[in-house]
Chains A and B, each alone.
Chain A
Amino acid sequence: MAKVMKKILNDPRHAVSEMIDGLVLASGGRTRRLDGLDAIVKTEIPDGKVALLIGGGSGHEPIFHGFVGDNLGDGAACGQFFAAPAPHIICAAAKAVHRGKGILFLYGNYAGDNMNFDIAAEMLIDEGIDVRTVRVRDDVAAAPRERVEDRRGIAGDVLMIKIAGAAAAALDNLDEVERIARKAAANVCSMGVAVSAGSIPETGRATFELADDEIEVGMGAHGEAGIARQKLAPADQVADQLMARILPDLPFGAGDEVALLLNNLGATTMMEMLVINRRIRKTLDERGIRVHRTDVGTWLTVQEMAGFSVTLMKLDEELKHYLDAPCRSVGFTNWGGL
């Protein structure tokens, strides 16, 4: 029997709904909830704006509901814990953010998300609304590059939402927003490691079992099995192991400029994250890869899972421009830029 997690919640079946209510209150009037639905949208979206709708299963907070804001998502459709949102939630959120210039759907590549967002897109297209879809497939551990279609979307979502959000705010052309999002998606790679399991609040049970002295390398954002289960090792060694898989994948090489994102899966400390950042930076420096910006934080979590993921995105001037745009939301604010 998997371990039972302690959590400070009311009825876990209402946790997603209560979480959204709390988020709206924390957003200072900049977001609202759609009546009776697990969907959150910006209160002010100008007419003629290309809309960006993000979403996915809940429990990875602050993504996705926490990424609704300025230069980020216009709305988020939220599923239950680790389960894609239903088509009618996606449709309602899409209609609430549509301002006549079409909608970009941006989400992680999972069977459930793909099916539910596709059903919603078909319904909206039938109504004459232009909907495009870009799926984030950044997890290099999930499948080799020749099967990139099978890769999961993990923390690359964060940089993707930032770039697509800034592009959708600046440009009034859905074709262009889609093109930029696709370019970003083709240039992002991630991989993670879990030190301990997360849980699903509705069952209260850990999603996998890991011995106290073991780590799972390359696991998915729901505890999907990784590529290796091994003994806990020093930070430098673990960081090297991830980089050994990420760097040759795109590949990343001398002269490249990248965005580096270190995502905490929930229960790892900032100290550990920064120790890892030090080693990764050394690796990149040695290979002549320039880091344009570094984001270290907690964005795509798996409840109390301990561990982290590394994301690298290869940049050009256009991607840098949108990546550096200031953004503001409950889950991710970078108003001054770094």
Chain B
Amino acid sequence: MGARVLDAAGATEMLRAVSRAVIANTDRLTDADLAIGDGDHGIGMRRGFEAALTALEAPQPGIDGAFRATGMAIMATTGGAAGAVFGTVFTAGAKAFAGEPQISAESFRRFLAEAQASVARRGGVGEGQKTMFDALAYAARAAEGTDDLTAAVHAAAAGALAGVEATKDMIATTGKARSLGERSLGHPDPGAISVSVILGAMQEFVSA
């Protein structure tokens, strides 16, 4: 495995790669949302990450600055629950990486923990409600116990995928899918898929 140095320039480049990956998955996210929601998740995420790409064209002052710019761009343009939640994920990164010259395994885990706490606070959600939070929680747990950033990011990405799988067996109790009740069974949560796309892009980036 290669290991990229993730300083401010590297982190900015990684967030650009994340944005491109989300945009490339627009149709997949839309299809997933049509199954159990109202079908706007893909276009909302595309709008947000297109704005993030534009914001990240400028060099960013620090890793925290890059994450903050990404989060603010998403929150301002995605709208809906996704805008608030995914905007919060990246602004949580701004808190976790404040003052850090490089992303380490430890600060990356802090980012996942901070993202979880912020989303729980903002959305009033916990695990098992069939939301993006499940993928985040699985990712955070999987990333524990390693001092190697690349290993931590790989584990988090794999964890997020396991979280997506787990949401298939859950009945939605929040958000627009809630009204489906048992009819939401068998379908993965679209927001959880987005988390797996984001962490998957980070994994690909650190391995390149």
* Chain A residues with a Cβ under 8 A of chain B: 2, 57, 79-88, 110-112, 115-116, 118-119, 141-142, 150, 152, 200, 202-203, 205, 207-208, 219-220, 222-226
Contact = CB atoms under 8 A, between A and B. Distances in A.
Given A200-B39, A200-B40, A226-B179, A111 B76 contact: no
A86 B83 contact: yes
Interface string B65-98: 0000000000111111111110000000000000
A120 to B, nearest CB: 10
A222 B175 CA distance: 12
A224 B79 contact: no
B-side binding surface: helix, strand, loop or mixed? helix
Nearest to B27: A203
Given A205-B34, A207-B34, A223-B38, A112 B79 contact: yes
A112 B81 contact: yes
Contacts of A207: 34, 38-39
- In the A-B complex, the 4 residue pairs with the smallest Cβ-Cβ separation, listed nearest first, are A83-B80, A112-B81, A115-B84, A112-B80
A142 B30 contact: no
Contacts of A83: 40, 44, 78-80, 82-83
Given A80-B44, A87-B75, A202-B43, A112 B180 contact: no
A161 to B, nearest CB: 21
Contacts of A226: 179
A207 B177 CA distance: 12
B178 interface: yes
Contacts of B37: 224
7 contacts: A80-B79, A82-B38, A84-B79, A84-B81, A111-B123, A205-B34, A224-B179
Contact of A116 (B47, B79, B176): B79
Given A2-B34, A225-B180, A111 B40 contact: no
A203 B179 contact: no
Given A84-B79, A110-B81, A220-B179, 15 more contacts: A79-B79, A83-B82, A86-B78, A87-B76, A88-B75, A111-B174, A111-B175, A112-B80, A116-B79, A116-B80, A116-B84, A118-B122, A119-B75, A205-B39, A223-B38
